[in-house]
A and B are shown apart, each in its own frame.
Chain A
């Protein structure tokens, strides 16, 4: 199975900060990497698909990039509604696997 490792597992940030979350795959997955946001008590929501494609309706402050087996989610200017947990997920092959999550908290 492909292991997905996110870092950091949690971070504290202020409104307006630039936030970077990294996800590393245990093997090459091409650009088969998706990012999801989960607010407390809610279902996950797709943010980015295929490493860098912004899902329709998602604010442009979210962006994704890839370099080899390393993937990055960037929030350019953190907003109050962005405090949540973020998961990466590989769709290269089954079993499709998620990272352990990165919780973004208010500083």
Chain B
């Protein structure tokens, strides 16, 4: 059974930093690209960042570029999101998401339960 378990969320002051982790199990983690997607309270879904299976290809949403860093450790079956210079606009549930593809079409086929990040003084 595919499982994605996020951790590391919590309350942080504006300007602070936080590191999210995602522990993957039930599939060959090293063969899959991964994403972070977030959802502000009562709002819709926002894609945050992408990393390819071998970490050679990385993309960020403009809203987090230069502040967030995605990384992975395939030996530990883990995905990370280092978040710096946090503002209240970053308050959201952060989901770890697996990416699958059909030829060149990508889709997000498994989601973790999410971890809540609250930025507030």
Are the chains A and B members of one assembly?
Answer: yes
Is B68 at the interface (CB under 8 A from chain A)?
no
In the complex, are the beta carbons of A98 and B44 less than 8 A apart? yes
A43-B95, A44-B95, A50-B105 as given contacts; A96 in contact with B111, CB under 8 Å: no
Determine if B108 and A95 form an interchain contact, defined as CB atoms under 8 angstroms apart: no
Residues of A close to B37: CB separation below 8 A: 44
Which residues of B sit under 8 angstroms from A67, Cβ to Cβ?
none
A89 within 8 A of B: yes
Q: Size of chain B's interface in residues, with CB distance under 8 A?
A: 22
Which residues in chain B, 37-76, are within 8 Å of chain A measured between CB atoms?
A: 37, 44-47, 50, 59, 61-62
Do A91 and B107 touch across chains, with their CB atoms under 8 A apart? yes
Stretch of A14-22, A31-39, A75-83 on the interface side: A31-39
A89 to B108, CA, bound (A): 10
Q: Which residues of the other chain, A, contact B100 by a CB distance below 8 angstroms? A: 49
Q: In the complex, A50 Cα to B109 Cα: how many Å?
A: 12
Q: Decide if A46 touches B102 in the complex (CB within 8 Å).
A: no
**Chain A residues positioned under 8 Å from B113 (CB to CB):** 43
Contact indicator A46/B62 (Cβ below 8 Å)? no
B14 at the interface (CB under 8 A from A): no
Q: Closest chain A residue to B103 by CB distance? A: A50
Contact with B along A43-57 (1 / 0, CB 8 A): 111100110010100
9 interchain pairs, CB-CB under 8 A: A43-B112, A43-B114, A45-B111, A49-B107, A49-B109, A50-B105, A91-B105, A95-B61, A100-B44
Closest 5 pairs between A and B when the two form their complex, measured CB to CB: A49-B107, A43-B111, A91-B106, A96-B47, A98-B45
